[in-house]
Structure 1
């Protein structure tokens, strides 16, 4: 009989502890789906700014200047490098730096290292894909 008096309260205590633990996990875990709008892994503005490629149609003479870290790809047309710093723009596809006024090869990935006015200038109509901050003048 003594065994039943000890066993029943122990079972009740363990059951209550489990219920409280499960309630605590669900209460503090959040009600939003991971990656959903209530619990985003990244913000939409971050995706728009740094992840998605944008397309720019440049007319002859227009200059696309990138911010630090901006990636560029000339898809069609002709463009040359604009660089007042004298350091060039890294062409990571070819593994070289492209100096000012040198022609940019089509479909080569360029990365703007600093926000110091570097970019590309369209010689004729050019289609450029870019990711990151940029301005067209």
Structure 2
């Protein structure tokens, strides 16, 4: 019987000690007994005005509205650039002939492999190097500053060359274009 009593007392001590230790670990895990200041590192809940203030100080004093306006402007610029690139890609990949009006003072610059036919107006060749443009109708090279005949097929094996209205005339040009081009 002494044995049974000892076992009973030992069991009660172990259960009681386990309950005390368990209660201590539960308090520490849940944070009971610790006071937390709102907005401190222990309680990171913040307001929108706090975030706006912090973002403003890091972005050179810009407010959230100014940052949003800047983002909107960048979206518009990117949209313009993408639209232009898509248009250029579509014109490069198609065999479609486009009618382009070239006003006086402007130059129609061809991309690699483009073809032009001057339909109306007097045109002169433009090239930024010693080589000219290929007149496939006559089978000759037209150097920069020389007259480009109307209704002749002109090939641009390399980009950066083109045609422009003759400086002696006031009217522009009408040019049929197949391939990529740029009006400068």
TM tier, shorter chain?
0.5 to 0.7
Within 5 Å, give how 1:24-63 maps onto structure 2. 48-49=91-92, 50-63=94-107
More relative contact order in 1 or in 2 (CA 8 Å, sep 6+)? 1
Shift of 1:122: 1.3
Q: 2:176 aligns with which of 126, 129, 136?
A: 129
Q: Which runs of 5+ in 2 are unaligned?
A: 1-87
CA distance in 1, matches of 2:148, 2:95: 23
Structure 1's consecutive aligned runs of 4 or more residues displaced over 2 angstroms after TM superposition are 45-50
Q: What does residue range 29-108 of structure 1 map to in structure 2 within 5 Å? A: 48-49=91-92, 50-108=94-152
Q: Answer whether contact 2:91 2:180 (CA < 8 A) is retained.
A: no
CA RMSD of aligned residues (A): 1.7
Superposed, which structure 2 residues align to 1:5-24 within 5 Å?
Answer: none
The TM-score normalised by the length of structure 2 is 0.47
Normalised TM-score (structure 1):
0.63
User: Based on CA coordinates, which of the two structures has the bigger radius of gyration?
Assistant: 2
The count of corresponding residues between Structure 1 and Structure 2 is: 92
